[in-house]
Amino acid sequence: MKNRIHNFSAGPATLPEEVLEEVKSELLDYNGIGSSIIEISHRDKVFKEVAINAEQSVKSLLSVPDTHEVIFMQGGATLQFSLIPMNFSHLGEVANFAEIGSWSAKAVKEASKICKLNVCTSSVENKFTFIEPLKNWNIKEESSLVHYCKNETIQGIRITEDPNFESYTFVDMSSCLFSENIDVSKYDFIYACAQKNFGPSGITLIIAKKELLVKSDPNLPNIMKYDAHANEESMLNTPNTFGWYVAGKMFDWYQANGGIEEMELQSTKKSNLLYDLIDGSDFYQNPVSKDQRSINNVVFTIHSSELETMFLNEASSEGLKYLKGHRTVGGMRASIYNPMKMDSVLALKEFMINFEKKYG
Ligand SMILES: Cc1ncc(COP(=O)(O)O)c(C=O)c1O
């Protein structure tokens, strides 16, 4: 559609036009039922089919083994920062939390209110530009769990290694799930909010080991217990039916567009276009350790804040929107999740080249 912007928002983020068109076409009458999907009971067989299909698609896209359960929850990824220690910190004396970017730092803060914590690695001193290899982390024995974030959306840094810890491993994949191939069996608990790679905000996907879920703290209220959600097939109470439905459409879109391998290939290509430009110029900078750079969130700065403001204004007037870095770190950030088209990244690259020519 010609009046759609190049949308680099970090989340809620751009969605494929085909998906939005399909949602639009079904909004008044879903599949001939004379109602939209969001106006019927979540227990109705029409919605149940949508829900089950979405779950099956996650399993097939990510080759989820039978050992793991798929759960859809509300409350965003942030709720998980508290629910994880609430449910599982009783499994050991101390919980290991990595502090490797703004989101995992938030998780540290929340968990510290709930349980005894060991910050097993911290990149605060290097300003979140380098993450220690997992083998160097100071994991405490007798610990209940390890928690980290695989892709730090704000700093544009990621972990590519698979974990191999003795303790149950919980990983926030909010801004990378479905963008890279992962071996789900290596993780005990994966979670991701939807608003980057698979739909509107307000729904969170969890993929967790069944053997772990049954260890949820039995003393918690049901709504906070993971096993209660799993036992009720994510319908302990009224779920976010619209989010779940759009997520299902996104999963269909992934399947129709080459699956996760293709998403990883495209994300790598798109991010490399920008990193190559940044590295080849003295005008733009990216501080992140090269082999840890995110393929979904490309951050960059220019040496003067005046130029950065001009960059953002001029980019915006050319339809390149939402490039401002997170309010806590400044600079620029191009979020280029799976639905982001190559054409938009090329348009940004061309703009960056021209801007440097003008002011560099
Ligand atoms: C890596 C990461 N974790 C957690 C969150 C928080 O998600 P929510 O706003 O859905 O709670 C975000 C949101 O941007 C994120 O990028």
Q: What is the distance in A from the centroid of ligand 1 to the CA of 103?
A: 7
Q: How far apart are the C-alpha atoms of 62 and 147, rounded to whole Å?
A: 21
Q: Is 350 helix (H, G, I), strand (E, B) or coil?
A: helix
State the catalytic residue, choosing from 59, 137, 150, 172.
Answer: 172
Give tens-digit pLDDT for 267-285: 999 999 999 999 999 999 9
Give tens-digit pLDDT for 150-195: 999 999 999 999 999 999 999 999 999 999 999 999 999 999 999 9
Minimum-distance ligand 1 atom for the alpha carbon of 101: 1
Q: What is the distance in A from the centroid of ligand 1 to the CA of 10?
A: 10
**Neighbouring residues of 38: CB distance < 8 A, sequence distance ≥ 6:** 241, 242, 245
Minimum-distance ligand 1 atom for the alpha carbon of 152: 1
Minimum-distance ligand 1 atom for the alpha carbon of 10: 14
Of 69, 81, 51, 63, the residue nearest 213 (C-alpha): 69
Q: What is the distance in A from the centroid of ligand 1 to the CA of 127?
A: 19
pLDDT in the model for residue 174: 98
State the catalytic residue, choosing from 59, 103, 209, 270.
Answer: 103
pLDDT in the model for residue 327: 86
- Report which protein residue has its CA nearest ligand 1's atom 7: 77
Q: What is the distance in A from the centroid of ligand 1 to the CA of 174?
A: 6
Give tens-digit pLDDT for 30-86: 999 999 999 999 999 999 999 999 999 999 999 999 999 999 999 999 999 999 999
- Report which protein residue has its CA nearest ligand 1's atom 5: 77
Q: What is the distance in A from the centroid of ligand 1 to the CA of 187?
A: 19
As beta bridge partners, residue 99 has 122
pLDDT in the model for residue 328: 85
Give tens-digit pLDDT for 344-358: 999 999 999 999 999
Q: How far apart are the C-alpha atoms of 28 and 24, rounded to whole Å?
A: 8
Res. 262 pLDDT band, cuts 50 70 90 = very high
State the catalytic residue, choosing from 59, 137, 150, 196.
Answer: 196
103 included as an active-site residue = yes
**Neighbouring residues of 25: CB distance < 8 A, sequence distance ≥ 6:** none
Q: How far apart are the C-alpha atoms of 353 and 33, rounded to whole Å?
A: 52
pLDDT in the model for residue 296: 98
> Cα separations (Å) of 346 from 171, 269, 271, 320, 336?
32, 11, 11, 11, 12
> Do residues 50 and 245 make contact, with C-beta atoms less than 8 angstroms apart?
yes
Q: What is the distance in A from the centroid of ligand 1 to the CA of 30?
A: 31
- Report which protein residue has its CA nearest ligand 1's atom 14: 11
Q: Rg (Cα) of the chain, in Å, rounded?
A: 21
Long-range residue pairs from 50-55, CB within 8 A, at least 24 positions apart, any chain:
50/244, 50/245, 50/248, 51/233, 51/234, 51/235, 51/239, 51/244, 51/248, 53/248, 54/244, 54/245, 54/247, 54/248, 54/251
Say whether pLDDT at 2 is over 90: no
- Name the more confident of 217 and 360: 217
Residue 199, sorted as left (phi over 0), alpha (psi -120 to 50) or beta, turns out to be left
For residues 197-220, average pLDDT: 98
Say if residue 208 is exposed, middle or buried (CB neighbours under 10 Å; 0-12, 13-18, 19+): buried
Q: What is the pLDDT of the chain when averaged over all its residues? A: 97
Minimum-distance ligand 1 atom for the alpha carbon of 202: 10
- Report which protein residue has its CA nearest ligand 1's atom 15: 174
Lining residues, ligand 1, CB within 6 Å? 11, 76-78, 103, 149, 153, 172, 174-175, 193, 201
Say whether pLDDT at 1 is over 80: no
Locate all alpha helices (DSSP H) within 62-99, ordered by sequence: 76-88
Give tens-digit pLDDT for 295-344: 999 999 999 999 999 999 999 999 999 999 998 888 999 999 999 999 99
Domains in the chain (CATH in brackets) are 18-256 (3.40.640.10), 260-359 (3.90.1150.10)
Q: Residue 16 corresponds to which amino acid? A: P
Which of 72, 148, 175 to mutate for ligand 1's pocket (most ligand atoms within 8 Å of CB)? 175
Which of 73, 174, 178, 296 to mutate for ligand 1's pocket (most ligand atoms within 8 Å of CB)? 174
Residue 131 DSSP symbol: -
Query: Cβ–Cβ contacts within 10 Å for residue 35, how many?
Result: 14
Of 310, 40, 67, 79, the residue nearest 204 (C-alpha): 79
Of 270, 269, 271, the residue nearest 292 (C-alpha): 271
Of 176, 212, 168, the residue nearest 192 (C-alpha): 176
Res. 3 pLDDT band, cuts 50 70 90 = confident
Which of 73, 81, 100, 103 to mutate for ligand 1's pocket (most ligand atoms within 8 Å of CB)? 103
Q: What are phi and psi of 167, to 5 degrees?
A: -85, 160
> Do residues 72 and 202 make contact, with C-beta atoms less than 8 angstroms apart?
no
Q: How far apart are the C-alpha atoms of 134 and 269, rounded to whole Å?
A: 26
